[in-house]
């Protein structure tokens, strides 16, 4: 049965929220590392793909049930985040931020090469019941995986709010983000805070990667999705986790609506690929610290 105009709009809107949930998970990883270390991790998208590949391998080659493969992949990614921080980035403390950012770009290239080496360049997909089960609500259809990832975003947002607001380590991370020297004087282990921030960012990336691998096919170059999520973190604010989630959902909905309406009218012009970056430029010109980011005040 043909959808009405309103049903088509809500289909695009809800599907955009589902796609935006993946962007939001990537953006949260960006925000956590930037909040603690003032570094943009350009390997975040590749860490997402790695999480998806690990879960896929555990299920396909070792016949481990989905939920256990998911948890093992999360543990492995968290451990990898700690190892990256302690073995590589700890040596960069005190070095220019540009140097550390270049290391993350190099890490991205290394990971993409390893993906092709170990998993090849053919498309892979995590096959689960949630990936294929269709849910129809009022003429709007979604897969169960879409609904679950939107629920995960809500849970993560609540969890991060409580963690940063009330937990000892969360408060230590906020203190470190504000002033590393003061944090050191207060007895906070800045190195442990950095390691934890990378571990959390890798866990978030793994969660996004597993759902991404159910909704879409995975290939080594798919880490570029991290760059597509970059406008989301700029829109929300580089140091705002809530802003990262809102930014990711906004970009996902915007892309879907443009694809469903303008691209059709313009004969498939591919506007959805460039409009998020146009929005990024507008935000940088009008509000460079994002909608919810911390405004820097420079006194002269």
Residues 6 or more apart whose CB falls under 8 angstroms from that of 91 comprise none
Number of domains in the chain: 1
Question: What are the residues whose beta carbons fall under 8 Å from the beta carbon of 105, sequence distance 6 or more?
Answer: 42, 43
pLDDT of the residue at 211: 87
Q: Is 9 inside a domain boundary?
A: no
- Tokens representing residue 88 in the block: 């590589």
Cα–Cα distance for residue pair 297/131, rounded to 1 Å: 47
For the record, the structure tokens of 23 come out as 């962007």
pLDDT tens digits, 31-51:
888 887 778 888 999 999 999
What are the tens digits of pLDDT across the range 89-145? 887 766 777 888 889 999 999 999 999 899 988 888 888 776 667 777 766 777 787
Residue-by-residue DSSP string for the chain: -PPPHHHHHHHHHHHHHHHHHHHHHHHHHHHHHHHHHS---TTHHHHHHHHHHHHHHHHHTT---HHHHHHHHHHHHHHHHHHHHHHTGGGGTTS-HHHHHHHHHHHHHHHHHHHHHHH-SS-B----HHHH-EEEETTEEEEHHHHHHHHHHHHHHHHHHHHHHH-HHHHHHHHHHH-HHHHHHTT--HHHHHHHHHHHHHHHHHHHHHHHHHHS-B-GGGGGHHHHTHHHHHHH-TT-HHHHHHHHHHHHHHHHHHHHTHHHHTTS--GGGTHHHHHHHHHHHH-TTTTTSPPP----
Residue ranges making up the domain that contains 45 = 20-223
Q: Which residues pair with 135 in a beta bridge?
A: 142
pTM of the predicted structure, to 2 decimals: 0.86
Residue 137 lies in a domain: yes
pLDDT in tens, 281-291: 888 888 877 77
Q: Is residue 256 part of a domain?
A: no
Say if CB 201 and CB 85 are below 8 A apart.
no
Whether residue 70 lies inside any domain: the answer is: yes
Residues 6 or more apart whose CB falls under 8 angstroms from that of 258 comprise 271, 272, 275
CA distance linking residue 14 with residue 246, whole number of Å: 14
- Work out the average pLDDT over 58-86: 93
C-beta separation of 12 from 142 below 8 A: no
Residue 264 lies in a domain: no
Q: Is 288 part of a structural domain of the chain? A: no
For the chain, how big is the Rg over CA atoms in Å? 19
26 is a domain residue? yes
Q: How confident is the model at residue 68 (pLDDT cuts 50, 70, 90)?
A: very high
Average the pLDDT over each of 2-16, 34-48, 72-86, 219-233 and give the range with the smallest value: 2-16
What are the pLDDT digits (tens) for 196-246?
Answer: 889 999 999 999 899 888 888 888 888 888 888 888 888 888 878 888 888
Instruction: Identify whether 30 is part of a domain.
Output: yes
């Amino acid at each position: 049965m043909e959808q009405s105009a309103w049903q088509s709009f809500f289909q695009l809107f809800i599907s955009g929220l589902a796609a935006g949930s993946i962007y939001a998970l990537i953006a949260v990883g960006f925000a956590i590392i930037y909040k603690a270390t003032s570094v943009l991790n350009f390997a975040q998208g590749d860490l997402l793909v790695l999480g998806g590949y690990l879960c896929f391998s555990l299920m396909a080659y070792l016949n481990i049930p989905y939920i256990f493969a998911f948890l093992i992949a999360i543990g492995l990614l968290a451990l990898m985040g700690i190892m990256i921080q302690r073995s590589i980035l700890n040596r960069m403390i005190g070095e220019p931020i540009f140097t550390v950012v270049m290391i993350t770009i190099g890490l991205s290239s290394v990971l993409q090469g390893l993906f092709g080496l170990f998993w090849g360049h053919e498309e892979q997909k995590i096959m689960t019941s949630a990936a294929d089960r269709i849910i129809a609500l009022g003429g709007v259809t979604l897969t169960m995986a879409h609904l679950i990832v939107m629920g995960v975003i809500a849970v993560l947002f609540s969890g991060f709010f409580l963690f940063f607001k009330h937990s000892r380590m969360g408060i230590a991370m906020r203190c470190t983000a504000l002033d590393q020297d003061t944090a050191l004087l207060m007895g906070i282990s800045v190195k442990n805070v950095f390691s934890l921030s990378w571990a959390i960012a890798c866990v978030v990336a793994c969660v996004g990667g597993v759902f991404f691998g159910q909704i879409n096919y995975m290939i080594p170059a798919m880490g570029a999705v991290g760059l597509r999520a970059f406008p989301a973190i700029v829109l929300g604010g580089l140091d705002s986790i809530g802003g990262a989630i809102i930014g990711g959902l906004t970009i996902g909905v915007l892309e879907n609506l443009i694809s469903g309406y303008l691209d059709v009218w313009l004969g498939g012009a591919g506007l959805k690929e460039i409009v998020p970056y146009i929005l990024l430029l507008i935000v940088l010109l009008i509000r460079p610290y994002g909608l919810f980011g911390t405004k820097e005040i420079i006194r002269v």
